[in-house]
Amino acid sequence: MNAPLFNTINTFTQLTEHAKTASAWQMRDLFASQANRFGELSVSAAGLFLDYSKNRLNRETLSLLLALARECRVEEKREAMFAGEIFNNTEHRAVLHTALRAPRNDTVLFEGKNVMPEIHAVLDQMEAFTRRVHSGEWKGCTGQRITDVVKIGIGGSDLGPRMVCQALRPYLRDDIRVHFVSNVDGHDMDAALKPLKRETTLFIVASKTFTTLETMLNAHTARNWFLQGGSESDLPKHFVAISTNAEAVTAFGIHPDNMFPFWDWVGGRYSVWSAIGLSVALAIGYDHFTEFLAGAHAMDVHFRQARPEINMPMLLALVGIWNRNFLGYPSVSIAPYLQDLGNFPSYLQQLEMESNGKHVTRSGAAVTWHTSPVVWGNVGTNGQHAYFQLLHQGTDITPIDFITTLKPSHKLPGHHAALLANCFAQSEALMLGKTADEARADMQAQKMAPADIEQLIPHRSFPGNRPSNTILLNSLRPESLGALVALYEHKTFVQGAIWDVNSFDQWGVELGKVLAKTILEEFEANTSHPHDGSTTGLIGLAKAALE
């Protein structure tokens, strides 16, 4: 869909000039001059609450950003995506992950065909399988029920389910344990296999083509491990596949009835809602999995129907555009103040950087503006004692997304109040900072010597004026987690639409895979291929060590 290039539209110029003025603003002053700033710069949707008031922006900024979105035709592009048009133009695919969580009676057309019956047929297959495993009807080769599930995948096939299973820890079933193996490093598989018993372990191999190098190496290692104490005829009881390659799945030893399909219009990092989420359904139960889907669908409905000025994904994306492209901040830190969201920053790294880490437009022209910032982070309060020093006093300004819940999933007294106090205090401290006069007054109150005070003032002053968003969930439940993930999916879409990049391909990932195959051949067949001097030297050292 043609639209004016990001930096050629009139609003871009206006925002660039506006940013020159905004760079001198102090958020302290913005709060002082805008009595209801918190109320005006916050929004609720699908059970989530977003406070974006601690950003260096005002009503004029928002008005210009919303105009920017209109000029970039974000709403038209959004409708094209939901309508099943070929939105991934470099791979000629539609982008219909939102259909995966839509109700059964919805109609979503792709090439003139309603895909919803096909989607729900797979969901029904997942439900039937999950209930068979949980009831003990599905048994291993010795007639024992399954107690452990190992999900083998990589990238989106791993990060999404892994993140969700950790996030929904309070919902994990007591009768089954789910493990994840993604790394081609054998230490990952070795650690996963050590505590397992062959007769009670089920492997889920997730690879659309059933040829992904890392996944299939791990899958064959698991197969060989199983065959050390079992027979090939027992493989169908202990291996299932998430794939579209029935021939390869059957050759591996998996019965075609135990192959769960998905579609080309499901990108890996958007696939947890599909059969890729089978491990999630096994871990938390199918009913909770459907709640997870429903929460995402609620955010889909909000994103598609809410006016831009109250549209949570739109606003989160536009604030990010303002910080990245007009204020010049190169990275974003994700700080979930919730231990169970420990994998969420890693999940968002792939979602945002693989989607929008692009240097050409959808038409292939070189971009002349910044695209995805670097995404990084860790759980609070751990991050406070690790890298928050840089956030408070470092030379780069890093916007932060604080994410937490109003209610905990545990009943331990005192902990959650302390967690929330730290979360809210950090966003306040980053915004306010501490002036030299305030630092001096603090030290004078401590009866410090005047000479020591003057020496320490530069070290104990904080510039402040550092932006953040705060996202609140009432509690971390399947539906609220679904809404949170969908929020960031749609944020990523909006930013990609404004930057005019294809958010749904990942050719940079493919390049490394191709080169890795060539080097692997050199290890296995003792051949040689031309490389640069460094790579040739490294391969030589590795060959010598592996002999």
**Cα→Cα distances 67→294, 303, 497, Å:** 31, 17, 14
Buried-state track 425-455, b at ≥16 Cβ within 10 A, e below 16: ebbebbbbbbeeeebbeebeeeeeeeeebee
Task: Return the SS3 of 177.
Answer: strand
What is d(CA 88, CA 97) in angstroms, rounded to the nearest whole number? Answer: 12
Task: Point out which residues pair with 51 in neighbouring strands.
Answer: 42, 470
Q: For helices 286-305 and 116-135, what crossing angle results, to 10°?
A: 150
Contact between 53 and 430 (Cβ < 8 Å): no
CB neighbour list of residue 19: distance below 8 Å, 6 or more residues apart: 322, 326, 327
Contact between 171 and 365 (Cβ < 8 Å): no
Contact between 99 and 31 (Cβ < 8 Å): no
What is d(CA 319, CA 333) in angstroms, rounded to the nearest whole number? Answer: 14
Annotated active-site positions, please? 354, 385, 513
Q: Give the torsion through C-alpha atoms of 454, 458, 461, 465, to 10 deg.
A: 140
What is d(CA 404, CA 421) in angstroms, rounded to the nearest whole number? Answer: 11
464 Rama class: left (phi>0) / alpha (psi -120 to 50) / beta: left
Contact between 37 and 31 (Cβ < 8 Å): yes
Joined together, the tokens standing for residue 151 give 């999900």
Q: How wide is the angle at C-alpha 383 spanned by C-alphas 355 and 284, nearest 5°?
A: 65
Joined together, the tokens standing for residue 179 give 């493990």
Counts of helices then strands in the chain (DSSP H, E): 22, 13
| Longest pairwise C-alpha distance within the chain | 83
